[in-house]
Amino acid sequence: MNKKHPRALGSILDELKDQMRLSTRMEKARLPEVWSKVAGPEMSSVSEPVKINDGKLYVRVTGSVWRQEISLLRRDLIQRCQKELPNTPIEELVLL
């Protein structure tokens, strides 16, 4: 009989999470919530995060004025998203 040393459940779950890349998946699931926080109530009411793929965050925007505003704030929005989603690389914001 092979005796193993007991391990904390939290460390086992962390290991599984890393192996299955669940951190990134869980963060992507939080994208609408994070976008609301990062963009603020007014901007998030006229825009919607669609997906993150290959380091690009795709956001649907209603109206050319808001598209321009978000475009001007692009770098700041990316940095704030990176802070909220540290396991999900976001390098570019693509406006749809």
Copy the structure tokens of residue 1: 């009989």
Q: Where are the beta strands (DSSP E) in the chain?
A: 47-53, 56-61, 92-95
Q: Which domains does the chain have, with CATH numbers?
A: 30-95 (3.30.300)
What is the reported pLDDT for 16? Answer: 63
- Give the amino acid at 75: R
Higher-confidence residue of 30 and 58: namely 58
Q: What is the pLDDT of residues 42-73, one digit of tens each?
A: 999 999 999 988 999 999 999 999 999 999 99
Does the pLDDT value for residue 85 go beyond 50? yes
Q: Which residues contact 32 (CB under 8 A, 6 or more apart)?
A: 48, 49
Separation between Cα atoms, residue 78 and residue 13, nearest integer Å: 29
Strand-strand pairing, 92-95 and 47-53: unpaired
